[in-house]
Structure 1
Amino acid sequence: MATSGDNFVEPWRKRLHIPAYQVGEAARYAQLSPQTIVAWHKLDGQRVLSEKERGERLSYLQLIELAVVAAFRKAKIPLKEIRAAREYVKRNLGSAHPFAEYQFKRYGKSLFTEYEEEKGSRKLVKANQAGQLAWKEIVGPLLEEFEYEHEGVAIRWHVAGPSSPVIIDPRLSFGTPVVGGVPTWIVKGRFDAGETDRMIAEDFGLDVLAVREALKFEGVLPGQQQKWIH
């Protein structure tokens, strides 16, 4: 719907900051322990994630931050370098959620981010080393499971891996994991009620393999279910 005025905010953007994800489910999505998430939020003033009240749920932006840091750690990037990159972007680019609002790449154990210095001019800097300039040619991709919009915000997370159809997108079903726009918990509920993967696929207009990926994400294994049709 068209609107006038520069202050219009798309409704889904308001949901980026609403606490919606319990620590336990965020841990499952990012394949971490809840204790690790709690530690990353504390770390005695040297946190690698944005501040969060004890017991409070995570917002979409906080969830993406968590997922990005988890990806960094899987890539063997030290917490010290992650923390330095976060502090640089937060301080110099004014971002409250650096790892959700800027796209990062890496070379070795260094983290790089690109931002628009002025209209039409973009700068690539080594975020964990005080913003040193870097040559684009030496920087490789890191976060392949995330898709970014032109402003830089991570707008879609392929939560089960870059090749998986299971995504988290704040524009779809209020940010719950979905496959083809259908929440994975609904797919599992139908399966638990006795329907086959093919029946579910037909009802929702999904590919059977997509339904199976949704069921795997929800913890259903093919060898454990007689209803898995080959």
Structure 2
Amino acid sequence: MTKTLQHKLELGDGIYTVADISEILQLPTAKVRRWLAAYWNQYSWTIDRSVAVSFQALVEFYVLYHLGEAGIPTKAVIRAKTALSEWFNTPFPFAQKKIVENIQTDQYRIYLEFEGHIVSLDGTKQLNLEFIRQFFHKLDFDQESIALRFWPRGKEKSIVVDPQRQFGHPVIGTSNIYPETIYGLYQGGESIPFICSAYDLVEKEVQDAIEYCKAA
């Protein structure tokens, strides 16, 4: 594993490749690869020739992706990211709830207003803030409003992405079982009651794992 620039990978950060990000966030692989090249060459690592990022970068990526889809120039987003990183002393400001909650939009501008600071992000399209707000409803935060874990299908489902468990790979509920493991058995013809018994899961957890893998 090689590291670029100064961001150090630590246990509990999670490790997410382009394929992982595309699967977890349900975004096109080609766009994920292009946006990673634009924003995170300084906060990424090369693992077996694949670019990988941490959990905080995964969360921030979703926000910046939608800012880009709203037509905001890459340079404008990078300027905003740099300014907010300095104010809040974090390389991933858009992974913080208190910052994202203060994104505002009108017919002409997208801007951030926080504690007297205003950062304007002029786009060519209207930003759909509901996408970002729905995404943040699927996150758990610590006491400093920094993202801790992500529930890809919503908190009513059993699949969770937690950088403290299994290197951040999606797992089922409180177990360390991968959804793909369950889905592979299901595709192989095993019954849901059998899978529940074999892996000590309830039927809803098995159904949630199958649903997650089908969506991915």
Q: Give the structure-1-normalised TM-score.
A: 0.63
- Give the deviation of 1:51 after TM superposition: 4.1
1:160 corresponds in structure 2 to 153
- Give the deviation of 1:125 after TM superposition: 5.8
Partners of 1:73 and 1:197 in 2: how far apart?
Answer: 41
Aligned residues: 182
Of all paired residues, the percent bearing the same amino acid is 18
Map 1:1-230; keep pairs closer than 5 Å. Answer: 14-16=11-13, 20-43=15-38, 47=39, 51-52=43-44, 55-70=50-65, 72-73=66-67, 78-80=71-73, 82-103=77-98, 104-105=100-101, 106-108=103-105, 109-111=110-112, 124=115, 128-129=119-120, 142=133, 143-180=136-173, 181=175, 182-219=177-214
Single out whichever of 85-94 and 175-184 deviates more from structure 2.
85-94
Asked if the contact 2:45–2:53 (Cα under 8 Å) also holds between the matched residues in 1, the reply is no
Report which structure shows greater RCO (CA 8 Å, sep ≥6).
Answer: 2
| Higher Cα radius of gyration | 1
Asked if the contact 2:140–2:149 (Cα under 8 Å) also holds between the matched residues in 1, the reply is yes
- Give the deviation of 1:69 after TM superposition: 3.1
Partners of 2:179 and 2:116 in 1: how far apart?
Answer: 38
Amino acid in the other structure paired with 2:26: Q
Corresponding residue SS for 1:194? coil
Go from structure 1 to structure 2 and tell me whether the alpha carbon gap of 1:23 and 1:85 turns closer, same or farther (over 3 Å shift): same
CA RMSD of aligned residues (A): 3.3
- Structure 2: runs of 5 or more not aligned: 1-9, 122-131
Asked if the contact 1:84–1:127 (Cα under 8 Å) also holds between the matched residues in 2, the reply is no
Q: Deviations over 1:89-118 (max 9, x none)?
A: 2122221122235542134344456xxxxx
- Give the deviation of 1:215 after TM superposition: 0.8
Amino acid in the other structure paired with 1:15: G
Go from structure 1 to structure 2 and tell me whether the alpha carbon gap of 1:110 and 1:198 turns closer, same or farther (over 3 Å shift): farther
- Structure 1: runs of 5 or more not aligned: 1-12, 114-123, 131-140, 222-230
Q: Deviations over 1:56-77 (max 9, x none)?
A: 222222222223434x459x75
Amino acid in the other structure paired with 2:95: A
- Give the deviation of 1:83 after TM superposition: 4.2
Corresponding residue SS for 2:90? coil
- Give the deviation of 1:23 after TM superposition: 0.5
Partners of 2:181 and 2:20 in 1: how far apart?
Answer: 16
Deviation beyond 6 Å, 4+ runs, structure 1: none
Partners of 2:72 and 2:41 in 1: how far apart?
Answer: 11
Partners of 2:158 and 2:198 in 1: how far apart?
Answer: 18
Single out whichever of 61-70 and 177-186 deviates more from structure 2.
61-70
Q: Give the structure-2-normalised TM-score.
A: 0.67
